[in-house]
Amino acid sequence: MGSGLFFFVVGPSGSGKDTLIEGAKAALGPSGRYVFARRAITRPADAGGEAHEALSVDQFEAVSAARGFLLQWQAHGLRYGLRADLLDEMAAGRHVVANGSRAMVAELAAHVPHLVVVEITAPAEVLAQRLTGRGREAAENIAARLDRKVPPFPAGVAVIQVANDSTPRAGVERFVAALEGQAARLRLVRMPIETGRRNVAFLARGCTVVAAPDYLGPGRVDLAGERRSIRAEIALVSDSLLAHDAVGLSQETFAALGLPEGAELVLTRTPVPESRAALRRKIRGEALDEPAYVQVVGDIVEGRYPDSEVAGFLVAADRGLTDGEVLALAKVRASFANRIVWGEPMVVDKHSMGGIPGSRITMIVVPIVAAHGLAIPKTSSRAITSAAGTADAMETLARVDLDAAEVRRTVERARGCIAWNGRLSHSALDDVMNAITRPLGLDSTRWSVASILSKKLAAGSTHVVIDLPFGARARVKSAAEAAEMARLFEQVGAGLGLTVEAIPTDGSGPIGRGIGPALEVRDVLWVLEGHPDAPPDLREKALFFASRILAWDPAVGPANARARAEALLASGAARAALERICEAQGRWSEPVRPARLTRTVVAATTGTITNIDGFAVAGIARLAGAPQDKGAGIDLKARSGDHLRAGDPLFVIHASSAADLDAAAAQAATFDGFTFDAGRESAASR
């Protein structure tokens, strides 16, 4: 049998400790699981107050000399003690409840294996009324009691609070519930079940410690033990799979908790979030202010809401956020992030709303800016629905899974980095939000503004340029939407103390030739090396955005920024800067090359190309294996405006396996993404 708990009940005079303890004794004493300690006090037995063991001063000294007290202290001219045999009760698995002094918590913690301090609280006016009703003290003495400052509890001691501000019956009910909640000790078992992002705990349906079916539903529970805790949802299993005194955790939840199997855990219900009223106001369509978002976002991060309620909140946010709400959300999101402080007057960054295949300008902009000398700690995402993200592309050359310290070292050595943002945890909110928004297809541009700028603020940026490509297949659909989004980015950025320039750009088709990590990096290197096959549109867009960043440097200014960017590119300084970045991040011994298996897709008709559907060609590249297979993708051989004859090449598919190559070619035969004049579409391969 495991050790019982020691409940040490503390609280100011007038809080009602004696009343609550007596009520709990009547309710829990008959179970045999609890022992209610009698304090030894150097006070006559008939002196009133709690039922105690009356000892003379000499008797008290004799017990103390014989080491008969577990704990002893002095207060109000009296000596108090708790008998040492209470440890035997705990060893037998019974829980001890004792009235005590706050000042003795640290000493008691050193003597008992499982201490839980129960602090009884009540408002000052209630305490004053109760003390006055006793008739034992003058008003000035009562006032002095209430003004007395109490020291904080020692670190690492479990403390629960019970409010005794209502009727005695209500106070006893709360006190009993608190004791029973802490006494719900379950043995930890690691279950051979994987639950992904969700923290899941399992109880046997016939659990003898708690009524397991009562915990089913949308609510969460807290599981705590040995100074570690985790929040989880409950699922039930048959009695044959789990012992009745155990709680099972999924593989991921067990790893996150970090305690060994067999450890004792206390199970309690997660408190109802205080922010629920604000969350429901948002779901009804009302606007929230910053303090409300602090509460709501904090409770979401803490896992106090089930996914269904978070989803309702996010759907409401997707439907509408005011400008003020976007700024409030950005501030709140940044407050939950691990902020990097660079100690430099200017730290620049570049972000794109994405969705344009092949537009890998970041890998050109960062080296140009770094070669100039400005700090540009660029962190990027991996692909979600596209054929490559910047992190996927950079990973063909070097490590991208850097932590904050490695990002700092890289920027100190090379003035820039191109890292994956997955290890940096710029926002503690992202994992929760993305797990819900992506399956629901929620893609609010206003929510994105708050998210993006909060990350830039957390990354320590001072100046940020935003690329807003718009087009029928882009994330931003129209020039008007892009202009409105640019206004919001710049306004919210100013509210955060950032200098932000957001620029709408043409997103009607792919940029560059390669679509897929290795093929896109090939284009990047061609631009940096001045190769004759370098895609001119990729070069031009990269120079444009690099110039906008360099224009912020007072030593350059807008008038000279373009010439400076071109000079850094033409001289090879930018190419050398990329080499330094790769070395600092951890260069691979061999870069990833385009996959060797190929198939050419050709035009089925003669005519002029009027449109290339970037979403379609990216889909073909993904079927070829990109971005997981970094060598896979497609190499465009034709562009919008080109006049082709039937049989001329449109693009070449690259894949590492014959099955992937066949799948991509089959999709291209159905629709290759190219539209010719007179509405004719091409679909042929060889």
SS3 labels along 375-388: EEEEEECCCCCCCC
Cβ neighbours, 10 Å, residue 581: 28
- Reduced to 3 states, what is the DSSP secondary structure of residue 510? coil
Q: What are phi and psi of 268, to 5 degrees?
A: -135, 155
pLDDT of amino acid 431: 63
The two structure tokens encoding residue 277: 């009223």
Nearest alpha-carbon partner for 24 in 37, 14, 11, 13: 37
Give the CATH fold of the 597-685 domain.
Answer: Aldehyde Oxidoreductase; domain 3 (3.90.1170)
Higher local confidence (pLDDT), 373 or 334 = 373
The answer, yes or no, to whether residue 228 has pLDDT greater than 90, is: no
Task: Name 434's Cβ contacts closer than 8 Å, sequence gap at least 6.
Answer: none
pLDDT of amino acid 361: 96
pLDDT of amino acid 473: 80
Instruction: Say how far apart CA 668 and CA 188 lie, in whole Å.
Output: 53
Higher local confidence (pLDDT), 517 or 421 = 517
Per residue in 419-475, pLDDT (tens digit) is 998 766 545 566 666 666 666 666 678 888 998 998 899 889 999 999 999 988 888
The two structure tokens encoding residue 676: 């010719």
Q: Which residues sit opposite 247 in a β-bridge?
A: 188
β-bridge pairing 228-237 and 221-225: antiparallel
pLDDT of amino acid 423: 67
Nearest alpha-carbon partner for 410 in 576, 589, 582, 572: 582
The answer, yes or no, to whether residue 1 has pLDDT greater than 60, is: no
User: Given this chain, do its domains 6-182 and 597-685 carry the same CATH topology?
Assistant: no
Task: Name 310's Cβ contacts closer than 8 Å, sequence gap at least 6.
Answer: 300, 432, 433, 436
Average pLDDT of the residues of the chain: 89
Q: Which amino acid is at 151?
A: P
> C-alpha distances in angstroms, 409 versus 379, 402, 412?
14, 10, 5
The percent of the chain in helix, strand and coil, each rounded to the nearest 5, is 40, 20, 35
pLDDT of amino acid 439: 63
Instruction: Say how far apart CA 278 and CA 316 lie, in whole Å.
Output: 12
Instruction: Say how far apart CA 467 and CA 474 lie, in whole Å.
Output: 12
Classify 184-269 by CATH class.
Answer: mainly beta
β-bridge pairing 34-36 and 95-99: parallel
Provide the b/e sequence for 47-84 (b: ≥16 CB within 10 Å): eeeeebbebeeeebeebeeeeebbbbbeeeeebbbbbe
Q: Tokens 């539209």 appear where?
A: 675
Give this prediction's pTM. Answer: 0.70
Count CA atoms closer than 13 A to 410's CA, side-chain side: 32
Instruction: Say how far apart CA 179 and CA 185 lie, in whole Å.
Output: 11
**Sequential DSSP letters for 411-451:** HHHHSEEEEEGGGT-S-TTHHHHHHHHHHHT---HHHHHHH
The stretches of 41-85 forming alpha helices (DSSP H) are 57-65
Higher local confidence (pLDDT), 680 or 455 = 455
pLDDT of amino acid 442: 62
The answer, yes or no, to whether residue 683 has pLDDT greater than 60, is: no
Nearest alpha-carbon partner for 612 in 583, 589, 639, 651: 639
Q: How many residues does the chain have?
A: 686
The two structure tokens encoding residue 647: 């049989």
Residue-range domain boundaries for the chain = 6-182, 184-269, 348-585, 597-685
Classify 348-585 by CATH class.
Answer: alpha beta
- For residue 25, give the H/E element and its range: helix 17-28
The answer, yes or no, to whether residue 624 has pLDDT greater than 80, is: yes
Which CATH number does 6-182 carry? 3.40.50.300
